[in-house]
Amino acid sequence: MNNSVLIALPLLVCIVLSPVSKADTVQSSINHAIKMSSFNLSSQKWKNRVLLVFAPSVDNHIYQQQMQLLQKHNRGFADRDLVLVQVLATDESYANKQPIDDSSATKLRESFGVDKENFRVILVGKDGGVKRSDATPVQATAIFEEIDAMPMRQQEMQERRRK
């Protein structure tokens, strides 16, 4: 038996035999650390467009409809420098599938005046301005058409054609 196995074996036994409460504490700390990333809308200005989806929870029927309409459009999001931010009242919130902290989600709700019980989809342009706001689910293609009609996007598409 090599030395690394001799060192690892007692450590593994300690971990396996340790009380569940310690494991729960470690898992809780890990989850807390993961949640701690913040999202600041102003940091996206002039870099990305932002699609905010506000909902009470992942179980909300309207939210599920919206997410279904957006799935399979990752390339369209990437082509348009579009960041998806899901702001959920009772669950974790996400920016491009990365958890964001509760204070960031609260600030977004306050900034756009969306109550925790409400569903809303808001498109924010690279200039930081609201380009559209919907209280019902929106097709990804409708969002893409709105973006593609923007002068800045027109310029981006012309520059890509030249390359």
Q: Write the CA distances from 91 to 35, 98, 99, 158, integer angstroms.
A: 11, 13, 10, 41
pLDDT tens for 10-35 read 433 333 333 433 333 333 344 444 44
pLDDT tens for 79-108 read 999 999 999 997 789 999 999 999 999 999
Amino acid at site 138: V
Phi, psi (deg, nearest 5) at residue 117: -85, -10
